[in-house]
Amino acid sequence: MRKTFAKLEDDYGSLEPLQNIMFTPISGGEKAHRTIRDLNDHVGTNVMFDSGGYEVQVGNKTFDELQAYLHDFYGENHWGHRYVLPDNVPVSQDSSEVVQRKVEQTADISALFYRQMPDSLKPRALAVVQGHTQDQLQHCLNKYASLDGLQHIGFGSFGTSGVSNGVNMLTTEAYHNLEWAVNQAHEADLSVHAFGVGGPTSIPLLHHAGVDSFDTTSWMRSSGYGNVFFPFKSRYNASHRKKRGGNLLTKDELPHIKAETEHECPFCKEMSQLRSSRWNRIMHNLIVIHEMTNRIEDMTRGEILEAMDEESTYRRRLKKVTSSNKSEVSI
């Protein structure tokens, strides 16, 4: 973490891409806790404390252990920007009965946990909406409507894939549920955070759905496979060592894709930087994500669609959900 901040400050000249970060206390060791607190105190970083529901999902902790940990940690640390309430995450492979149980457990425990929080933390609490159906999402929203002073909710029910279902996917069904939940929340004056999704091709969908914030590790995760991002484009493989999907990026193509996407940063001046250094790919990808979140606010639907790859699944999805005649486009 310190190396990431140091490289941003020294080479990019700004820490703005990491002005807001998410930290999972239950997963971090003592050294990580000290680092995060130091960054908050001396750099002014806004820290959202994640609940750590993933630890329950993969079997490292029970839901009861998670609640107990968060109760103690939140009670002792009042310097956070957001405090995510305990949630039990449904995954794509769960049966309908298991999903329903997790939804009810998340809503009930979150409400109880919120009421037990110190009054000074309640305006910074964030309750997670879980569910695979709108009825389940509504169950969470109804429960949270009874919480006096709650200002923020999060949406976590995306499709999942990968090892231990650790990768969130913005499927068509998840998108429609997200958009519906955002509309319901905004009517109740609640902000909405989208958990764990936000690559260059999914950010336009999050923007159209109306989310207020999102978090993603795609910039770091993808770089480990040799992949690099450019605004609104599908990933490119720069290391050429592993074929993990996406087009190969060549020395000749680099200046053209940079010009097309109007991207320039200190970490992609030469192809050799991206090919040989995972750290350069990490920093480059982070800056691209930050760049996109700022740029998209001033773009029209047409400009966004034009900037995306013609064959992109997310482009087709965005075109469908923003079309006045939605039957024209298939996914």
CA distance readout (Å), 4 to 23, 51, 226, 271:
15, 23, 18, 21
List CB contacts of 142: < 8 A, sequence separation 6 or more.
Answer: none
The strand pair at 167-169 and 159-161 is best described as: antiparallel
Q: Is residue 155 part of a domain?
A: yes
Q: Kindly state whether residues 158 and 271 are assigned to the same domain.
A: no
Terminal-to-terminal C-alpha distance of the chain: 39
The strand pair at 191-194 and 213-214 is best described as: parallel
**21 conformational bin, left if phi > 0, alpha if psi -120 to 50, beta if neither:** beta
The answer to whether 128 and 106 are in contact (CB under 8 A) is yes
The strand pair at 20-23 and 46-49 is best described as: parallel
The answer to whether 239 and 246 are in contact (CB under 8 A) is no
Write out the chain's pLDDT in tens, 331 residues. 888 999 999 999 999 999 999 999 999 989 999 999 999 998 889 999 999 998 988 889 999 999 999 999 999 999 999 999 999 988 778 899 999 999 999 999 999 999 999 999 999 999 999 999 999 999 999 999 999 999 999 998 886 555 555 566 788 888 999 999 999 999 999 999 999 887 899 999 999 999 999 999 999 999 999 999 999 999 999 998 655 556 899 999 999 999 999 999 999 999 999 999 999 999 999 999 999 999 999 999 999 999 999 999 999 999 998 885 443 333 3
Q: Kindly state whether residues 92 and 131 are assigned to the same domain.
A: yes
pLDDT of residue 305: 96
Q: Is residue 181 part of a domain?
A: yes
pLDDT of residue 327: 36
Q: Kindly state whether residues 55 and 150 are assigned to the same domain.
A: yes
Sign (positive/negative) of CA torsion 248, 289, 24, 208?
negative
Whole-angstrom Cα distance, residue 306 to residue 319? Answer: 11
Q: Is residue 265 part of a domain?
A: yes
CATH number of the domain that residue 171 is part of:
3.20.20.105
Instruction: Residue 50: give the domain boundaries.
Output: 1-218
Q: Select from 72, 69, 4 the least CA-distant residue to 36.
A: 4
Q: Kindly state whether residues 199 and 279 are assigned to the same domain.
A: no
| H/E element, 63 | helix 63-76
The vertex-307 CA angle with 301 and 312, nearest 5°, equals 95
Whole-angstrom Cα distance, residue 86 to residue 61? Answer: 12
Q: Kindly state whether residues 43 and 86 are assigned to the same domain.
A: yes
Q: Kindly state whether residues 116 and 237 are assigned to the same domain.
A: no
Q: Is residue 327 part of a domain?
A: no
Whole-angstrom Cα distance, residue 133 to residue 176? Answer: 10
Helices (H), 117-171: 134-145
The answer to whether 196 and 215 are in contact (CB under 8 A) is yes
Q: Kindly state whether residues 290 and 145 are assigned to the same domain.
A: no
User: Among the three residues 218, 234, 267, which one is the final residue of a domain in this structure?
Assistant: 218
Q: Kindly state whether residues 197 and 231 are assigned to the same domain.
A: no
Token pair, residue 246, equals: 């996406």
User: Among the three residues 218, 234, 251, which one is the final residue of a domain in this structure?
Assistant: 218
User: Among the three residues 201, 218, 235, which one is the final residue of a domain in this structure?
Assistant: 218
User: How many domains is the chain partitioned into structurally?
Assistant: 2
pLDDT of residue 243: 57
